[in-house]
Copies of this chain bind each other. A is one copy, B any other.
């Protein structure tokens, strides 16, 4: 899994450049027809859960409502062969949520796909950006 975890920093760096001159952003959505199983919002939420070990704290950290975060987690877990998020109830720490191995793999693949797309398309993206003011 480790070799999958290299793309995130690059994506964040790209995002920080967007304010000034025009830049291209790829977004990938995976689903059946209009039903989206995996998209940018869900992946960002998974990353926040990985950092906070809590769906509530994760939702807060990305300014998403707690209710919406739970719906997205439920949708994801239902559309995957194995759940992406595992939650425990109670205990000394009052329970918490962590990414499963599937969840980690999903995030890593998604971010690597974004990075691969941007790299493969870089020459044509440069050509397209040259058409802009």
A112's nearest neighbour on chain B, judged by CB, is B124
Q: In this assembly, does A38 line the interface, its C-beta being within 8 Å of a C-beta of chain B?
A: yes
Number of chain copies forming the complex: 2
Interface residues on A, range: 35 or more
The DSSP consensus for interface residues of chain A is mixed
Q: In this assembly, does A102 line the interface, its C-beta being within 8 Å of a C-beta of chain B?
A: yes
Q: List 23 A–B pairs whose Cβ atoms lie within 8 Å, in order of A's numbering.
A: A18-B33, A22-B31, A22-B32, A22-B37, A23-B31, A24-B30, A24-B113, A25-B28, A26-B117, A27-B28, A27-B29, A38-B132, A79-B133, A80-B131, A80-B132, A81-B131, A106-B128, A109-B131, A113-B121, A113-B128, A116-B117, A119-B120, A120-B120
